[in-house]
Amino acid sequence: MKVDLSNDFKEKYRNLMGERSEKLFAAIQEDSQEAFRLNPLKANYQNVSYSLDKPLEYSNIGYFGDINGNSIDHLSGYVYSQEPSAMYVTEIVDPQENEKILDLCAAPGSKTTYIASKMASQGLLVSNEINAKRAKVLSSNIERMGITNTVVTNNSPKDFEKKFDDFFDKILVDAPCSGEGMFRKDPESVEYWSLDYVEQCANRQQHILDSAYKLLNQGGTLVYSTCTFSPEENEQNVAWFLDKYPDMHLAEVKKYLGMEDGRPEWANGNPELKKALRMFPDQFNGEGHFMCKLVKDGETVEPKERQINDGLKKDDLKFVQQFAKTNLNSLTQTNWLKISDFLYQAASLDNRFKGLHILRNGLKLGEFKKNRFEPDIAWILALKPEKLKTVYELTQEQFEKYLHGESVILDSKPDFDNKWIGLSYQGKLFSWGRYSNQQIKNVYPKGLRR
């Protein structure tokens, strides 16, 4: 599909890039590069049906290639489709176990799920999205990937300021932008681009950066990224930020083949801006991106957690323990939290979250119903097979029927008698099944059926 670049866009980049601009315009007309990454939170995570022969140089779980959204690898959270240059943002964040990390503009979840996969279910990740519809997509992607240490919020960045002052060790601002770097991947984005829109985006990004500064702990790291070429949204915003907050400084980031320095001459001439990173599709095998790492001076102060009541009653514990005794090999009670009739393994019990719009706090384990507890799909997607008393491997025919909402009829009485079992296909857990009278009744969520 031909990308129809506006005259304003062409004139702008001819003025900025000279003759090289024609190479950029030509690259925008080429096909976008597809890639995916594996999910090390899953059992035998490299056991996928996609080729791992073309790894990304800068990611030990990223590969060039296209994936099918209906494959078991995708449905079970073993793979995530992500544009190759975008993967490098998480490598710059460099998440560590037991850190407190905020992804302030997180939907649809590409970078958040990558960050979580490197945290190994330790520490706290807060994934925020201001748009309600996109926040739901974010939450569902986190569920599919079996992530347990994340609080998903649907708030304005300013909503965090009074509650989380100097709280986070690392913050990612993958800012909403004019999207110039994605023109060939999303040609429709060209239609709403204008010089005025670029200015609007730059202004909005400054407000987000203001909030991020207040939320970042002393000694913390703020990674700022966009998927646009626009200097107004990139070097100029970073220059503005450094001038406004003199206790912030740019840190070096490693640049691989095809990655380029930031352009001080496109902002205020500050040579430190060379430490930022740019990716142009005429030089790098991916879409257009800008990234930089900013560090806040000072000694880290550990904020004290203000714990809330878990809301659990004696009968609640009894029902969960009965479920576990019958269907699981082991169960550890960690940060259990009851919200309405639902039980969560909470990512945080800190009352700072009170008053925020929370879509998901950690892992949703299940729902309390009359005199019983029923497990949630999120729990099975986060479980390792050895935790379950029974894992039933489906044939291809059974798997396809189950995805359509049909039950599995067994030819003979099986060698298990527990009610709730894990269902697996090609060695990957993807759903609960409810066994009764020689059939596995379908409990796959209707919204996920094919």
- Binding-site residues from annotation for S-adenosyl-L-methionine: 105-111, 129, 174
Cα–chain center distance at 412: 43
Extended strands (E) in 129-247:
150-153, 168-174, 216-226
318: left (phi over 0), alpha (psi -120 to 50) or beta: alpha
Burial class, 299, CB count within 10 angstroms (exposed 0-12 / middle 13-18 / buried 19+): exposed
327 burial (CB, 10 Å; 0-12 / 13-18 / 19+) is: buried
- Angle between helix 7-17 and 20-28 (nearest 10): 140
Q: Are residues 322 and 122 in contact, defined by beta-carbon separation less than 8 angstroms? A: no
Q: If we measure between CA atoms, which residue out of 305, 369, 381, 314 comes closest to residue 345?
A: 381
Catalytic residue among 177, 201, 227, 292: 227
* Residue indicated by tokens 């409810």: 434
Residue 285 CA to residue 269 CA, distance in Å, equals: 28
Q: Is 307 exposed, middle or buried (0-12, 13-18, 19+ CB in 10 A)?
A: exposed
- Inter-residue contact 24 to 17 (CB < 8 Å): yes
Burial 405-431 (b: 16+ CB within 10 A, else e): eebbeeeeeeeeeebbbbbbbbebbbb
Where is the binding site, in residues? Answer: 105-111, 129, 174
Instruction: Give Cα separations from 152 to 95, 103, 124 (angstroms).
Output: 18, 10, 11
227 has catalytic annotation:
yes
**What residues are annotated to the active site?**
227
